[in-house]
A and B are shown apart, each in its own frame.
Chain A
Amino acid sequence: MDAVQARTGAEVLLRALKEQGVEVIFGYPGGAVLPIYDALYQQNAIRHILVRHEQAAVHAAEGYARSTGRVGVVLVTSGPGATNAVTGLVDALMDSIPVVCLTGQVPTHLIGNDAFQEADTTGITRPATKHNYLVKRAEDLARVVHEAFYVARSGRPGPVVVDLPKDIVIGQAPYTPAPDAEHRSYRPVTEPDPGQIARAIALLKAAKRPVIYSGGGVINAGPDAAVALQEFVRLTGAPCTSTLMGLGAFPASDPLFLGMLGMHGTYEANLAMHGCDVMLNIGARFDDRVTGRLNAFSPNSRKIHADIDPSSINKNVPVEVPIVGDAGRVLAALIAAWRADPARPDTQALAAWWRQIDAWRGIDCLRFSQATAAGSAIKPQYAVQRLYQMTRALGRDTYISTEVGQHQMWAAQHFRFEQPHHWMTSGGLGTMGYGLPAAMGVQIAHPDALVIDIAGEASILMNIQEMGTLAQYRLPVKVFILNNQYMGMVRQWQELLHGGRYAESYSAALPDFVKLAESFHAVGLRAESVDQLDGVIRTMLEADRAVIADIVVDPKENCFPMIPSGAAHNEMILGPEHADRAAGITDEGLMLV
């Protein structure tokens, strides 16, 4: 067998990656990983994308993973290479994105000696990863790499670090094929318990005011899970809402869809959550952005929670029916059990519930007023809306990423997602600087697709160096900056909660984004008033290379609706006319982020 054939550790590593189906690595070289780069240089099966910062390598791998359903792979050097990757790793951990990050390490005999570019990578990344490994023996190398992929993609996906001392990758190592490398103990439950499925169906059939609340777990479970979600929602006739991470699993255009819920979710979604009598949470985790004040969260409902991670169940919100399993298999089981159960849902109650929901919809909570006269300031919501309408008219396969802040929420509210895997955003960690490198990873995976990073002028500067990567690989990513000259979400909270004292939230000394784009061999565009917007979007969409479109928007606009921190779903601020509700926030509420 090949196992006896002498190879270097670096060759064994690449062979294991190939066997895992890896086609692309996002990375940055350095001393400790030189032997791996030398081996990469001598082969053609795996493509290496040279990023400009290791954080961006991880975000790019996340974008690649989230848009393909495959494991994203990162290669960075020891010390600063690994520490720079940490933000990306935590981002992937919080949002359950499968990533394998290979980090260089000083040779085993120098570990612990404060060697040049040494960092305790496994120590630093232990709470930043789903699992991590330090390979200390050559004979463990191939097994550990295969195990890392298994752990990253199984159960609730997440990032896995494999720390590779330089002597291990230079020295000889045996190869073990993948099927021999399963993990000894890690076997997540994926098949739901039939008894719990039956209890869930009994509750849902008897419901008068049901709600189905879906999350990123449905996306992670693959395209079939999204199809199953749609089928189940239609079977039940229940309204469906989604978390930020779950957008796209249920088509936004479907009348059964209430839009996103939570802090900046729609009025109808949040009031439906508040007023429902039975709630099915599938693949979401009752995150604080979603629940608002916990003791006022959906006070009168009986709750069903399906999650692949048992630790997500009963963590924040006690539930009556816990279901541990893969979202796709849970939905398939729910569909089968619903069909097999002769009980009929209460259609009269359901019709009354929908009348109530339609009344809430009538509030039109996402409305904004855009002055149309030439020279009028562009409302950020309008910019996203036009971007959505014009990309939709093009009919191209379109992927959207975002940075973090107001623009992210406006994108989630006004860009309507019809399919899963087309929306990349940093939900759990809220990482400014995520969007551009994530878009880069998406474009690598989908070279012919239209990939747009909806950004803010502050966030984009956090990983702006990746414009160089776009240029090098001719990636036609479009960066659509909603430029309000503020860290908008910070400014909004300062306005509503801190007496309008705008401490350090003004984006002073901004670059000229048009010239900045041009200096990176990209197209630079700017729209300063509403009459220029469509032209700029059209030029951006027609460009065959990277674009930065600097959309100068109304700097005072706030993101509504909003559930202020520490408030309940039925205490939403719908617009500036309710802004005084924020003044009623308790000290306890102020403490919350």
Chain B
Amino acid sequence: MANPDPSFRSATISVLVDNEAGVLARVIGLFSGRGYNIDSLTVAAVDASRTHSRINVVTSGTEMVIEQIKAQLDRLVPVHRVADLTREGPHLARELALIKVIGTGNARSEALRLADAFRARVVDATTGSFVFELTGNTDKIDAFLELMGPLGLTEVSRTGVAAIARGTSAITLRPDATHGTDKGSS
């Protein structure tokens, strides 16, 4: 559905949170309760002591809605940092997909050739099937899946997007995170 508002855009937002019970439910509940979109969501603990998790969410909306999403996320009590990677500079976004293709004959060898071109790895094979492992941005995986469609594509499992800023800028706990006064999103 085309959105007439020219400021409608996609945003990849990374959120650093306390790794505590219910924190993911809070974030998801915020999106569903306020009617925001979730196009992709990933979450995992990101430090050795597993006290903090990083949530990457891909969402879309008008500029006003995306600013509102960031402000709403930032006011959740267990949230430390909110970063709009799409807005703050170049970033990398990757997801991993496991793709099962079932087929024989020409389709099978064509699937293998295309997988090679996309640098998808064969992680399981039988005489009648492959499981490919493919890493890349969302567009690359979508393109590969489209090609596999007529070649016996049967099942897909995708991780959703993990994202990180390029260069030296980093989303980490502030050194003053335990005693500081700011909780901004820059």
Residues of chain A touching chain B, judged by Cβ–Cβ distance below 8 Å, are 122-123, 126-127, 130-132, 134, 136, 151, 155-156, 182-189, 191, 309-311, 313-315, 318
B18 within 8 A of A: yes
In this complex, the interface size class of chain B, counting residues with CB under 8 Å from chain A, is 20 to 34
Partner of B29, one of A126, A156, A188: A126
The interface residues of chain A lying within 8 Å CB-to-CB of B78 are 131, 184-186
Asked whether B74 lies within 8 Å of A311 as measured between CB atoms, the reply is yes
The interface residues of chain B lying within 8 Å CB-to-CB of A132 are 22
Asked whether A126 lies within 8 Å of B77 as measured between CB atoms, the reply is no
The stretch of B102-110, B140-148, B173-181 that contacts the partner chain: B173-181
Asked whether A122 lies within 8 Å of B22 as measured between CB atoms, the reply is yes
Known: A185-B78, A187-B183. 19 other contacts (CB 8 A): A126-B26, A126-B29, A127-B33, A134-B22, A184-B18, A184-B78, A184-B80, A185-B77, A185-B177, A186-B77, A188-B183, A189-B182, A191-B181, A309-B75, A310-B74, A310-B75, A313-B71, A314-B68, A315-B71
26 contacts between A and B (CB under 8 A): A126-B26, A126-B29, A127-B33, A131-B77, A131-B78, A134-B22, A136-B21, A151-B77, A155-B75, A184-B18, A184-B80, A184-B177, A184-B178, A185-B18, A185-B77, A185-B177, A186-B78, A186-B183, A187-B183, A189-B183, A191-B181, A309-B75, A311-B71, A311-B72, A313-B71, A318-B64
Q: In angstroms, how far is the closest chain A Cβ from the Cβ of B6?
A: 15
Interface centre among A126, A136, A183, A185 (most CB of B within 10 A): A185
B79 within 8 A of A: yes
B25 within 8 A of A: yes
Q: Which residues B56-114 have CB closer than 8 A to chain A?
A: 64, 67-68, 71-72, 74-75, 77-80
Sorted nearest first, the 7 A-B pairs with minimum C-beta distance are: A311-B71, A131-B77, A185-B80, A186-B77, A310-B71, A311-B72, A127-B33
CA distance A185 to B67 in the complex (A): 21
Specify the chain B residue showing the minimal Cβ separation from A122.
Answer: B22
CA distance A461 to B41 in the complex (A): 46
Specify the chain A residue showing the minimal Cβ separation from B185.
Answer: A310
The interface residues of chain B lying within 8 Å CB-to-CB of A136 are 21
Q: In angstroms, how far is the closest chain A Cβ from the Cβ of B104?
A: 47
Q: In angstroms, how far is the closest chain B Cβ from the Cβ of A125?
A: 11
Partner of A126, one of B22, B68, B180: B22
Interface centre among A183, A186, A191 (most CB of B within 10 A): A186
CA distance A188 to B75 in the complex (A): 8
Specify the chain A residue showing the minimal Cβ separation from B176.
Answer: A187
The secondary-structure label for the interface of chain B is mixed
CA distance A591 to B25 in the complex (A): 31
Specify the chain B residue showing the minimal Cβ separation from A313.
Answer: B71
The interface residues of chain A lying within 8 Å CB-to-CB of B74 are 310-311
CA distance A185 to B18 in the complex (A): 8
* A126-B25, A311-B68, A315-B68 known; A189-B181 Cβ under 8 A: yes
Asked whether B77 lies within 8 Å of A314 as measured between CB atoms, the reply is no
The secondary-structure label for the interface of chain A is loop
The interface residues of chain A lying within 8 Å CB-to-CB of B181 are 187, 189, 191
Residues of chain B touching chain A, judged by Cβ–Cβ distance below 8 Å, are 18, 21-22, 25-26, 29, 33, 64, 67-68, 71-72, 74-75, 77-80, 177-178, 180-183
The interface residues of chain B lying within 8 Å CB-to-CB of A313 are 71
Q: In angstroms, how far is the closest chain B Cβ from the Cβ of A68?
A: 24
CA distance A184 to B77 in the complex (A): 9
Q: In angstroms, how far is the closest chain A Cβ from the Cβ of B101?
A: 40
Asked whether A130 lies within 8 Å of B21 as measured between CB atoms, the reply is no
CA distance A186 to B182 in the complex (A): 9
Q: In angstroms, how far is the closest chain A Cβ from the Cβ of B168?
A: 24
Asked whether A127 lies within 8 Å of B177 as measured between CB atoms, the reply is no
Partner of B77, one of A130, A191, A311, A315: A130
Q: In angstroms, how far is the closest chain A Cβ from the Cβ of B83?
A: 15
CA distance A65 to B64 in the complex (A): 34
Specify the chain B residue showing the minimal Cβ separation from A315.
Answer: B68
Partner of A127, one of B18, B29, B64, B182: B29
The interface residues of chain B lying within 8 Å CB-to-CB of A189 are 181-183
Interface centre among B26, B33, B75, B80 (most CB of A within 10 A): B75
CA distance A311 to B73 in the complex (A): 9
CA distance A255 to B157 in the complex (A): 68
The interface residues of chain B lying within 8 Å CB-to-CB of A184 are 18, 78, 80, 177-178
Asked whether B79 lies within 8 Å of A185 as measured between CB atoms, the reply is yes
Q: In angstroms, how far is the closest chain B Cβ from the Cβ of A288?
A: 15
The interface residues of chain A lying within 8 Å CB-to-CB of B178 are 182, 184
Specify the chain B residue showing the minimal Cβ separation from A191.
Answer: B181
CA distance A151 to B80 in the complex (A): 15
* A134-B21, A185-B18, A189-B182 known; A311-B75 Cβ under 8 A: yes
Q: In angstroms, how far is the closest chain A Cβ from the Cβ of B142?
A: 33
Specify the chain B residue showing the minimal Cβ separation from A147.
Answer: B77
The interface residues of chain B lying within 8 Å CB-to-CB of A122 are 22
CA distance A127 to B76 in the complex (A): 11
Q: In angstroms, how far is the closest chain B Cβ from the Cβ of A27?
A: 24
CA distance A127 to B28 in the complex (A): 11
Asked whether A123 lies within 8 Å of B25 as measured between CB atoms, the reply is yes
The interface residues of chain A lying within 8 Å CB-to-CB of B180 are 187
CA distance A102 to B74 in the complex (A): 26
The interface residues of chain B lying within 8 Å CB-to-CB of A311 are 68, 71-72, 74-75
The interface residues of chain B lying within 8 Å CB-to-CB of A185 are 18, 77-80, 177, 183
Asked whether A314 lies within 8 Å of B67 as measured between CB atoms, the reply is yes
Partner of B64, one of A134, A187, A188, A314: A314
Q: In angstroms, how far is the closest chain A Cβ from the Cβ of B74?
A: 7
Asked whether A187 lies within 8 Å of B71 as measured between CB atoms, the reply is no
The interface residues of chain A lying within 8 Å CB-to-CB of B77 are 130-131, 151, 183, 185-186
CA distance A310 to B67 in the complex (A): 10
Specify the chain B residue showing the minimal Cβ separation from A188.
Answer: B183
